[in-house]
Structures are given as C-alpha cells and as structure tokens.
Chain A
Amino acid sequence: MIRAVLIAITLLFSTYSTAQLTIEITQGRDNPTSIAVVPLGWQGSGLPKEDVAGIIEADLQRTGQFAPVARGDMLGSPQDQSEVFFNDWRLLNVQYLLIGKMVPTATGLVAQYQLFDVYAQQMILEGRQLGHPDSLRDIAHAISDSIYEKMTGIRGAFSTKILYVSAVKRGEALYTYRLLKADVDGAREQVLFESDDPILTPSWAPDGERIAYVSFETSRPAIFMQNLRTGERTQLTNFQGLNGAPSWSPDGKQLAMVLSKDGSPDIYVMDVETRNLKRVTRHFAIDTEPSWLPDGKSIIFTSDRGGRPQIYQVTLANGYEERLTFEGDYNARARVIPDGSGIIMVHRETRLDDFHIAKLDIDRGTIEALTETTLDESPSISPNGAILLYATKYREKGILAAVSLDGGVKFRLPSRFGDVREPAWSPFLN
C-alpha cells in the first residue's frame, strides 16, 4: 500500500514539466574555455524528447570552466567531420567544437559524437554512447562526462545522482517531509519516501544501490535502510534516545552511527548483515556525525568534549583519538576529500550565524572558508572531488548550493516549492 502511494506520488512529480530544483550560476572562472555544442542530429522517429546538446552545455557551464557558445551565433550545424569548417568556428573564437548524431538501433539508439580542437584543427575525442529515446538525459550526461575527462583529466560526475530532503510547511511546527533523488542538475526528481515526521541525513552506500537515513515516523528517530532497486525498506535501529547520522563504510558492509542508548551520544559501528553493534567512542560529551576515511580504518566525528564542537579522529583498531581542528569556535560534520588531502566541514569563527563551508588542509593545518553565505551546512563532496553541494538559506528559504573545492565556482539550486536541505552526492554509478 505504501509503495502504491509512493508510486502515485512519483508519477505526480514526474508530470511537472521542469525540475523542482533550478540552477543559477553565481560565480565562474576567468577566461573559461569556449566550446560550441552543436545540436545533435536526430534520425529517430518523431522529435527527440530532450535537448541533448542543451543538457551538455548546462553540464559544462556548471563547472565554471566552460563557456558554451550561443546557438544563434553558430554558422552551421555539422553532424559529420566532413561538414566541419574550422575557419567558421575560429571566427567565433571557439576553442572546442562538439558535433554528433543519434541513430536508431534494434534496441534503442546510439549517439555518435566527436570533439575537435578548433585551433589545432584536430579531432581529439570520438565516442559512441548507447541509450534509449526515453533516457536521452543519460546519454547527454555520459557525453558530458567523457568531454570533461578529456579536457581536465578528471573523471566527470554528471551521470551521478543526489539525494536531498524537502520540507513543506503545513501549519505551526507541521511539515510534510520528502526524501528525493534527482540527477545532479536537479532534473528527474523522484520521491523515495514521504512523511509527516522529520527525515534527515540521507547517506549512499558505495554500491549506489542502498541508502540509509533517519526517519521519525515511529515518533522517535530511527535509522532506515532502503534499496533503490527493489524499493525494500528496513528499520535498522530502534534504541532509546538518539539513532542518527548513519554513514556507510567504504566497503559498504558497515554503518557508523550515533546512539545515546548508553547515556550520552557516542559513535557506534553496525555490521549491516549481522546487525552486530560495536561501540567506538565513550565520552559523556556529544560525539556525533561520523564519517569514514577512505581506507576504512578510521572515522572522523564531531565532539564538544573540549567545550565547543570540534573535529576528532578515532582509529578503529585501537580506539586512539586525536583532535583535528583548533581554529574557530564551531567545526562540525566533516567529510573527507576523496584524495585524502583534507576535510570539508561546517566552520564558524566567532560570530552569530557565520557558518561557512570550509576546507581543512591536513598537511598545512590551515582552514580556508569556501563560502561567504551564512547558515551553510551539510556539505557533500562529488565523487571526483571537484565540487561539493551544501545547504544554505537564500531569501529566507532553505536551498542547495554548490562550490568547487578550490572555491572558484559557485552556483545555487533553489527549490520551486518548500525548503530543501541535506544533499547527499552519490558515488560513481557506472
């Protein structure tokens, strides 16, 4: 029955012509690379359901490193190498040119594409992407991934997904909470779970198939696991007190979490298969927000054992604990940068509401704020380590925003209705 309701909701949402989240780029790079993405040829029946070239342009533009050429300025729309006249594009100061076409196959369609360096007059990338007329967005994101990797050397993350939570107010302290999944550009959102009680801290398993989150549907917080392929939901915890902050281990076999069943909030690790629990920290202060290091041997967490919330690290094998942050009066909810160079966290120097997303450089010990907005929280790093999503307030509404890890590129993803928060960026899914 619940699943039927969820499907009905999903259908309702999918009828919206535009995504719940829209994108407003607020800061890009100086001298972005000029690229012309020529509308791809279409040999299928009817009209294509999506503007594939437009999706690729938007993907590249969001990185702040590329400036797509306006379609109206293009002097031609080549679909094959034989139709490319480099001089035409050079006149427009175009540095790179993408062309292609989509051809029907027995099972769907194939997109064939080529990327040219206009000044060198050379093809630098040629690719084929299989797909289906109903999933043109997947094809577009896959092409964006290969272009991005070719030009930056960094694996593209345009085909990944995000989870986030929305809250729509219905009355005094009364809200409808939804857990949603969407493409990283906000398109194709789906409601995974809806409740009158709070939902928070969605977390992806490394397999990209299972997620965990906290739901208050039992009138108390409890950690739930949901399989995105089968839709199966499992309640993992039902302890007295806090049941929160689930975080998957890098091997996907364990969940770190915070429980206060033994008095004060402490970090525990649960074996997802056997449900065996192991206590990791033991302190009368608040210990919460665990996050694994990539090697799975240590966990970083927030603790106010020193009087103010700061980041600590615990080694699982021997319980050795170490404080990592000393600058600022509030450092919390840390996440490790995939290459291990540092951690991203919520940071406040001293003032009232100046909560920013900041980067702690592990080697240098320095803290650098990446955002200037206030009330920033819940940073979630893309799997390629290039950019992060976070939640903030904009015009009195909860919105998602993004900033590159070097702080150079920023964009907002405001919600069309309600407040949105708690973004969780998926691992690579392909």
Chain B
Amino acid sequence: MEINKKQLLSAVFASMLLVGCASTDSTDTGEADAAAAAAEAAAAEEAARLAAEEAARKAAEEAAANLPRVFYFDFDQATLSSETRAALDGHIAALKDSNAKVRLEGHADERGTREYNMALGERRANAVANYMIVNGVARYRIETVSYGEERPVASGSSESSWSQNRRVELK
C-alpha cells in the first residue's frame, strides 16, 4: 500500500513537470500561469482524493478488525448465514486493499464420526473460501484447513456448546 501511494505521488509530480514543459513553448505567460494554477488545483484534488482513499482504507481496516472472525453453521450443514455473508463482505473489502493472506479453519461439533466431521469442517471452510473467491479475493491468498471436531472451543454435550463449535475461523 505504501508503495502504491508513492507511485501515485510521483505520477502526479511527473504530470506537473510535463505541464510545466508545455508552458515554455507558450508566448502567453498569462496562459502559463493559468496552466500552473490548474496543475496546482489538480494536484490538490489528487492529494485530497488520496487522503480520502487512505481514510476509507483505514476505515475498512478498522471495520474489518471489528467484524466477526468466527462464522457459525447448522448441524451437518455448510450454508453461509446472512450474518456470515455480511461479515465476509467487510473482510473482502479490507482484503482488496492489501496483500494479506488468510487461513480459514473449519470445525465441527462432537456429534457423528471424527473423519466425517473432518470432511464437514473442510466443506465449511471451502464454503467461506468460495464466497471470498467469487467476490474477488484471489484463490492463492486463501488457505483452508479442517480440524473436524478435534479443537472444540466449548466442551459441554448440549446444543449451546455444539453451536459454538460448528464454525469457521478466519485467521
């Protein structure tokens, strides 16, 4: 991101020079002054645009930091809820302005067999990954791994624990 900003600034500087060069051929100094003023205005506009972009990026980053990073699922399901989609849209917006990679860890609750749950955790992680890819995040930036039911966050054997364990964590 830092590099992109510098590149943009030098491009603006180069265009100012070009405008300056063009003015030396002109006999009307008033016209040259006007061109210089226009260039200045354009530069100011560009700087303002950059500042706004930077602010938007920071806002998106901050918003992403506050977005949920854990997404929950129904039993034996890998369907994304509307809450999950909304949260993912925020993460996707933040990811568009960075080169960061993400790791999606899929999990299942304790019910059913361990290896089937391993596959179920993968299906959930892939559901999140596919949503991100379809919405513009490059596939190579996403790593998925399933832990099945091996890493529960809640230990009891009731729906209140199970619903917390059926999840994908974005890391």
Chain A contacts to B: CB under 8 angstroms: 167, 169, 172-173, 175, 177, 198, 200-201, 216, 219-221, 241-242, 244-245, 258, 260, 265, 286, 288-289, 302, 304, 308-309, 330, 332-333, 346, 348, 352-353, 355, 374-375, 377-378, 393, 396, 421-422
The 3 closest A-B pairs by CB, nearest first: A198-B150, A333-B113, A286-B119
Measured in the bound complex, the distance between the Cα atoms of B120 and A86 in whole Å is: 63
Residues A242 and B147 in contact, CB atoms below 8 Å apart: no
Can you list 30 contacts pairing A with B, beta carbon distance less than 8 Å? Answer: A173-B151, A200-B114, A200-B115, A200-B150, A216-B147, A216-B150, A221-B118, A221-B145, A242-B118, A242-B119, A242-B122, A244-B118, A244-B119, A245-B118, A258-B115, A260-B119, A265-B122, A288-B116, A288-B118, A289-B113, A289-B115, A308-B76, A309-B112, A332-B112, A332-B113, A332-B116, A333-B115, A333-B116, A353-B111, A377-B112
Please give, as numbers and ranges, the residues of chain A lying within 8 Å of B111 by CB-CB distance.
352-353, 355, 375
- Per-residue 0/1 for B97-122: is the Cβ within 8 Å of any A Cβ (1 yes, 0 no)? 00000000000001111111011101
Please give, as numbers and ranges, the residues of chain B lying within 8 Å of A198 by CB-CB distance.
147-148, 150-151
Please give, as numbers and ranges, the residues of chain A lying within 8 Å of B151 by CB-CB distance.
173, 175, 198
Which B41-81 residues sit within 8 Å CB-CB of chain A?
76
Q: A216-B147, A374-B157 are in contact. List 5 more A-B contacts (CB 8 A).
A: A169-B155, A173-B153, A286-B119, A333-B116, A346-B112
Residues B115 and A375 in contact, CB atoms below 8 Å apart: no
Q: Total number of A-B contacts with CB less than 8 angstroms?
A: 95
Please give, as numbers and ranges, the residues of chain B lying within 8 Å of A333 by CB-CB distance.
113-116
Residues B157 and A393 in contact, CB atoms below 8 Å apart: yes
Please give, as numbers and ranges, the residues of chain A lying within 8 Å of B153 by CB-CB distance.
172-173
Measured in the bound complex, the distance between the Cα atoms of B74 and A352 in whole Å is: 12
B123 within 8 A of A: yes
For B111, B116, B144, B156, which residue has the most chain A Cβ atoms within 10 angstroms?
B116
Residues A286 and B123 in contact, CB atoms below 8 Å apart: yes
Please give, as numbers and ranges, the residues of chain B lying within 8 Å of A375 by CB-CB distance.
110-111, 157
Measured in the bound complex, the distance between the Cα atoms of B119 and A422 in whole Å is: 17
Which one, A242, A260, A330, contacts B112 given CB within 8 A?
A330
Measured in the bound complex, the distance between the Cα atoms of B145 and A220 in whole Å is: 6
Please give, as numbers and ranges, the residues of chain A lying within 8 Å of B119 by CB-CB distance.
242, 244, 258, 260, 265, 286, 288
Please give, as numbers and ranges, the residues of chain A lying within 8 Å of B110 by CB-CB distance.
375, 393
Measured in the bound complex, the distance between the Cα atoms of B113 and A172 in whole Å is: 22
Please give, as numbers and ranges, the residues of chain B lying within 8 Å of A393 by CB-CB distance.
110, 157
Q: Which chain A residue has the least Cβ–Cβ distance from B118?
A: A244
Measured in the bound complex, the distance between the Cα atoms of B150 and A375 in whole Å is: 15
CB distance from B154 to the nearest CB of A (A): 9
Which B154-171 residues sit within 8 Å CB-CB of chain A?
155-157, 159
Please give, as numbers and ranges, the residues of chain A lying within 8 Å of B76 by CB-CB distance.
308
Which one, B113, B147, B150, contacts A377 given CB within 8 A?
B113
Residues B115 and A245 in contact, CB atoms below 8 Å apart: yes
CB distance from A74 to the nearest CB of B (A): 45
The verdict on A422 contacting B145 (CB below 8 Å), with A265-B122, A286-B120 known, is no
Q: Which chain B residue has the least Cβ–Cβ distance from A241?
A: B122
Please give, as numbers and ranges, the residues of chain B lying within 8 Å of A175 by CB-CB distance.
151
Residues B146 and A242 in contact, CB atoms below 8 Å apart: yes
Measured in the bound complex, the distance between the Cα atoms of B110 and A213 in whole Å is: 20
Residues A302 and B113 in contact, CB atoms below 8 Å apart: yes
Measured in the bound complex, the distance between the Cα atoms of B112 and A355 in whole Å is: 7
